[in-house]
Amino acid sequence: MLQQISIYAENKKGAIRKLTGLLSDAGINIHSFVTNDSAEFGIVRMVVSDTDKALTIFQENGYLTKLTTILMAAVADEPGCLNRLLYCIEEANVNIDYLYTTFDRESNGALIIIHAEDLAEVENLLKSEGFRCI
């Protein structure tokens, strides 16, 4: 399983660019990235090449951050693959808190980033159904 950084940032012009600029200046690559907004603040979730260094940089620049364990599962870039993964999880009666996707450069497929209460259970379930988990 992997670590994801959640950053709480003001919902204002240039806020996301400032985050990506901090990582760029530090030579940290962003592997996946998603934002959720509200009226005043947004949550930016990301998986990066150097989690510890990125976390330190964000905190030193005054950002409220949270480190979260996530699961990444690979699926083919074909219609119905995400649906099959979700069906397996639903049939096991497991709730997903949230998910987002990114691209897998090695397989030219999709990577599904999952956060759920019991990630070990989700990982075992998906592996038993033939999915590759990272």
69, 101, 116 — which closes off a domain? 69
CB 51 within 8 A of CB 14: no
| Whether residue 116 sits in one domain with residue 83 | yes
- 55-99 pLDDT, tens digit per residue, is 999 999 999 999 999 999 999 888 999 999 999 999 889 999 999
**Residue 90 belongs to domain with CATH number:** 3.30.70.260
**AA identity, residue 9:** A
* Residue 41, Cβ density class (10 Å: 0-12 exposed, 13-18 middle, ≥19 buried): middle
Is pLDDT at 40 greater than 90 in this prediction?
no
Strand-strand pairing, 132-133 and 96-104: unpaired
Query: When comparing pLDDT for 109 and 71, which is higher?
Result: 71
Are residues 74 and 52 part of one domain? no
